[in-house]
Structures are given as C-alpha cells and as structure tokens.
Amino acid sequence: MACFAEIGHDVISVDNDAAKIDALQRGETPIHERHLPELLQRHRNVRLQFSTSVRDAVAASEAVFICVGTPQSQTGEADLSFVEAVASEIAAAISDQKTIIEKSTVPVRTCEGLRKTLLLNGAQAGSFSVVSNPEFLREGTAVSDFLYPDRIVVGVDDEASAAVMQEIYRPLTSGSYYEGTRVVPPSACGLTKARIIVTNAKSAELIKHASNAFLAMKVSFINAVANISESVGADITQVCTGIGSDSRIGPKFLNAGIGYGGSCFPKDVQAFQAVAEQCGYDFGLLTEVMRINIGQRRRFVKKVRSALWTLRGKRLAVLGLAFKGDTDDIRESPAIEIIETLLREGSTVRVYDPAAAEKALRVLPTTGVVFAADPYEAAADSDALLILTEWPEFANLELTRIRTLLKYPIVIDGRNLYEPQQMTEAGLIYHSIGRGVGIPQDMSSVVHGSDREAMLHDSFAVSQAAGGGR
C-alpha cells in the first residue's frame, strides 16, 4: 500500500483489526522493513488513508487488491477462508465496474473460485473482473523489490482488466517514477523501466508457487552439497563460487546454512505439492526439498553437540532469532526451532537479535532463555557462541573481544559469515557449514588423541602463521 502511494496512486488500506488501523493512522510502522517508515510518514493522510470499512473503501476505488493471509492448513493446502470472507464483503459493496486483484499467495485456480464467490454473494456478472498479480517481495528489501522489480506478473482473462493493470504499474513500466527527485534508492543496480509480463490468470498463479519452490530447491540443493563438501574436506564457499559463476545457475540462493524458513517458502512448497497431488502428479522433488531443509537443522544441533561433547548443562550464546537478516519475522525460523531443541537437551541460552526479540519473547519458553542487550552480553561466560541469522552486524563482531568473553573459544556459525582463518587468528575454534573446522595453531594440542584425529580427518585446521595446513 505504501509503494502504490509512492508511485502516485490514492490508496485506502483496509483491515478488520481496528487497533492495527489506529496504529497506522498514528504513523506507527507494524513491521521491521527498510524504507517503510519514511514512506508511511511521507504518504500517510495524503495519498494513503486507513479504514476498517470494506464497503466504503470498495465504493471509493476502481481497483481492489486482496492481500489477506493464506496460512497452511492441516492438510498442507493453502487455507483460502480469509480470501473467501473478504470476497463476500467486496461483493456486497460493488455498485459499478471494479477490478478485483488477488495479491495473496494462492494456488492455481483461485481466481476461478474468487469469481464464483463474488457472484454467489451478490456481485452482478459483468460488474467486475478478477486478476492475479502475485508479489515477489523479499522481507528486508520489500520496498526496493516492489519499486525495482525483476518483473511484474499480471494474470488477466480480459482486455479491460489488462488495461487497468498496465495503468496501475505505468509509473514503473514507463520509467517515470525513476525520474523523480525523491525516489527510494535501489538495493542493487537501478532500472530505467520495469518489465511487465501479462499472462492468463492460471499461469500467473502457477508462476508464484513455482518460483518459490524453485528457490527453496536451490537452498536445499546447496545444503545437500555442503554436507558432502564437509565430509570430503572441500570448502562449500569455493564450490558455490564455481557453481554460481555459471550464468545458467547464478549465485543467488546458493548460500549453505541451516535452511530456509519464513512465511513463504515452507508454506508455499507444501501448498504447491498439494496442488500437484490434486492434479494427480507425484512431485517427489518437493518432498525431498522439504526433507533436506528439516534435516539441515538437525545436523546443526548435532554439530553443536559434537563441538561441546554434551549439551546438558551448557550455557550457549545465540545470535539471531529471525528466519533471516533485516526482518523481525520469526515464522518458521530455523533459529527458533534450534533453540527449542537445545533447551529440550538441557542447555540454557542467551539470545540476541536486533529486531526480533519482542516477537520471540512470545513463543520461546520462559525457562532457560535470557534475552541479551547485545552480542557481547550474550557471549559473556557462555560455553560457545552460535550464529543463526545473517544480520550484517553479526558478520562484523569484535572477535578478540568474543574470545575473551567466552568460557570456551568455540563459535558455531550456521550462516558461514566468516572465513575460518579470521576466526583462528582471533584464537577461536570455528565450526561452519560445508567447511572444515578452523583450529588455532596454538590450540591444536587441546584436541588430542582419537578426538583430534577424527576432527582433522574431514576438516581443515587453519594455521595462524601459515594461513592453512592439514
């Protein structure tokens, strides 16, 4: 809504949560998202209005975007009850020609169901058209993703609605927005004109689920390769550089770690699999993508256990609660699941996250968890430091200070934010994903006997003096 106002449209944002609408009217930002506070400040009560009345908003608008949640049902399918509920309210408010745009992530054929729901609830045939317009916004960079899109996908089944959608996005597709003096800067290279892809409604719906499933597959694939890399003594970061340099593959989403999370990938992959089952197709690849992702979290806990011998009674510093950096979203967060496992195994944790602590406080147990004010307070007198979210500040820690604060000089990095040599030069034993264990030269005697042989069998002990060695 803020981005539509930014490109020049008058927007009425509707929600049935009066408290949320009141907060927005006061200028409060509901989520942690770069550039969003300034957009709300710029357009609130100018181009951007807030309301709890669907009827009033629909009556005053030419185009109506449905952006409600589509949570995962117990069967794995997308729960479309919120879409149906708001559609019935919209139907009762249609008095002249409207374009109804489905923006939520939904399975293929949802536009068909939406059209039927509108008709069953009193909307007159010919008084509306239904469009699929999936979003491709990454949390943390959603504003710049909207304003500088890889593509805009519009699924239409008639020329009139196609014309409406072309007009809505014209400031981006014509490039006129980018010529302004107060534009939001791009997160990467800028655009002169955004690309719009016009398809039929079913194709647009399929594009969204297929896109997310493919990206989740890339994450699981590189994590599977990382597990092999770790076993044979290769370096997954070097492997990723080699793979990602292929223009047919590309480097994005080839980052080994503890797996994907968030509100989209887990839900959308399972929903896409449910769609495939309904079509009579066994999409076994998606089953494997999900299996690898769940297994990656278990492997990380096993890595922590191996580094500390036993987890019971250990005090662990944990950096990161959100499912990824630059967001406060903890939905399906690998970090939360790993923390809960550590607690069940008898550890206590001191956690820190720059944005997600308040939300995590509502879901984590009250016993065994302490929320720290910064990474260094979390590390103080802890048996090891765990990095679970790729916040930029976690990649720029004062490592010598961390070494001094920790009870044992052990860092277990689930996001590969450091090079092993950086850690060993700071005197830290460094465990990461898809790479060997970094062991400072002056600590090699600490890992002795058969334990040392087992560790060095498939790991790379980085020498402080020489920069490497077996």
Q: 279 an active-site residue?
A: no
Distances in whole angstroms, Cα of residue 459 to Cα of each of 286, 384, 420: 31, 19, 11
The H or E element containing residue 451 is helix 449-457
Q: Could you say which of 3, 111, 240, 264 is catalytic?
A: 264
Q: Beta 315-319 vs 348-352: how paired, if at all?
A: parallel
Distances in whole angstroms, Cα of residue 388 to Cα of each of 233, 257, 373, 394: 23, 9, 17, 10
Strands (E), 261-420: 315-319, 348-352, 369-371, 384-387, 410-413
**To which residue do tokens 């480097």 refer?**
251
Which SS3 state, helix, strand or coil, does residue 110 take? helix
Report CA 21 to chain centroid distance, whole Å.
25
Distance, in Å, from the CA atom of 356 to the CA atom of 364, rounded to the nearest integer, reads 12
21-36 in b/e form (b: 16+ CB < 10 A) is beebeeeeeeebbbbb
The H or E element containing residue 308 is helix 284-308
Please say whether the beta carbons of 162 and 182 come within 8 A. no
Distances in whole angstroms, Cα of residue 432 to Cα of each of 3, 199, 278, 381: 38, 43, 40, 21
Instruction: Give which of 306, 302, 333 is closest to 320, Cα–Cα.
Output: 333
Distance, in Å, from the CA atom of 256 to the CA atom of 249, rounded to the nearest integer, reads 15
Cβ neighbours for 130, distance < 8 A, ≥ 6 positions apart: 100, 101, 102, 111, 114, 115, 118, 157, 161, 201
Please say whether the beta carbons of 284 and 320 come within 8 A. no
Please say whether the beta carbons of 75 and 274 come within 8 A. yes
* C-alpha distance across the termini of the chain, in Å: 56
Distance, in Å, from the CA atom of 15 to the CA atom of 147, rounded to the nearest integer, reads 24
Phi, psi of 35 (to 5 degrees): 75, -15
Please say whether the beta carbons of 156 and 165 come within 8 A. yes
Burial class of 125 by CB neighbour count within 10 A (0 to 12, 13 to 18, 19+): exposed
Active site residues per annotation? 264
